Amino acid sequence: MILELDCGNSFIKWRVIRDTDLSIVGSGVVDSDMALVDAVSALALPPKQCRLVSVRSEEETISLSALLHQCFGLRVLVAQPAKEVAGVRNGYEDYQRLGLDRWLAVLGAYRLSGGACLVMDFGTAAKADFVAADGEHLGGFICPGMPLMRSQLRTHTRRIRYDDASAERALSSMAPGRSTVEAVERGCVHMLQGFVRSQLDHARELWGEDFSVLLTGGDAPLVQEAAPTARVVPDLVFVGLAMACPLD
């Protein structure tokens, strides 16, 4: 059993796969290290190996690795920046500065598409990355994702206040909002969908119609209608994680 972790800025995504056939035996999303320990403790079979990617601070990543060692005896393999993996060349001027979740999503996207691709990840931040047919990563774009947009509005205005339950209800339609919660939630989704459409325009300028589009991240379903031909791959970062951190 292999425990795989994707530590984003808001949540830790985890899954356990069987090392023999790579089938998924458990998965989930947690908001703290302790909640992760609880979830893994509840598994019928304990994991024997672990690999993780993190965009959190070095200290947080070290402390999570230590906790996993202490609780489960795991030695944790942590994904590191690289200039080139599996035919994909990191496009950043300083390759170590490219967010590792973006890098792994790029690796996974190129593996799955086998050609030019646009990969977009909707988490705390929204990210778009471009990979040419020959594996050259051309770079990408970062902007606030849904959690950041809504919290900025809530924090910096006096009259925008609403709870999570009404936020969820507000997204049952995309019509102009008739309440604050509808106006904000739908407005932010329109921003993300606009982001998606402009990335698609950019990809068409580069490659015509000859490219694949992959969507991932917790909020990918919110933008799917703006990219009708896109493939939604919730575990795209884990595809790249297995490529960057092979285990024997």
Ligand X SMILES: Nc1ncnc2c1ncn2[C@@H]1O[C@H](COP(=O)(O)OP(=O)(O)O)[C@@H](O)[C@H]1O
Ligand Y SMILES: CC(C)(COP(=O)(O)O)[C@@H](O)C(=O)NCCC(=O)O
Binding K ion by CB under 5 A: which of 2, 3, 4, 8? 8
Q: Which residues of 200-236 are buried (b: 16+ CB within 10 A; e: fewer)?
A: beebeeebeeebbbbbbbbbbebbeebbeebeebebb
Apex CA 37: angle with CA 33 and CA 40, to 5°?
135
- Applying CB under 6 A, among 34, 142, 143, 247 the residue interacting with ligand Y is 142
Residue 42: Cβ-neighbour burial (10 angstroms; 0-12, 13-18, 19+): exposed
Binding flag, residue 108, ligand X (CB under 6 A): no
Site string for K ion, 55-74 (x = CB under 5 A): --------------------
* Choice from 47, 91, 123, 145 touching K ion (CB under 5 A): 123
Number of chain positions touching K ion (CB under 5 A): 3
Please report whether residue 146 would count as binding ligand X according to CB under 6 A: yes
Q: Does 8 interact with ligand X (rule: CB under 6 A)?
A: yes
Instruction: Pick the closer one to ligand Y by CB: 65 or 124.
Output: 124
* Residue 129 vs 182, nearer CB to K ion: 129
From 4-12, 60-68, 102-110, 177-185, span contacting ligand X (CB under 6 A): 4-12
The secondary structure element, H or E, covering residue 89 is strand 88-89
CB of 136 to ligand Y, least distance (A): 17
**Is residue 147 a contact point for ligand X (CB under 6 A)?**
yes
9 belongs to the binding site for ligand X (CB under 6 A)? yes
Helices (H), the chain: 33-41, 58-72, 100-113, 146-156, 164-170, 180-207, 220-223, 236-244
**Which residue shows structure tokens 């703006």?**
226
CB 196 within 8 A of CB 227: yes
Collapsed DSSP state (helix, strand, coil) of residue 161? coil
One DSSP character per residue, 22-81 reads: --EEEEEEESSHHHHHHHHHTSSS--SEEEEEE-S-HHHHHHHHHHHHHHH-PPEEE---
Q: Using CB under 6 A, pick the residue from 91, 108, 140, 218 that binds ligand X.
A: 218
**Which are the catalytic amino acids?**
101
Residues that bind K ion (CB under 5 A): 8, 101, 123
Residues that bind ligand Y (CB under 6 A): 8-9, 55, 97-99, 101-102, 123-125, 127, 142, 145
- What are the binding residues? 6-13, 92, 99-102, 121, 124, 180
Residues that bind ligand X (CB under 6 A): 8-11, 13, 29, 123-124, 146-147, 217-219
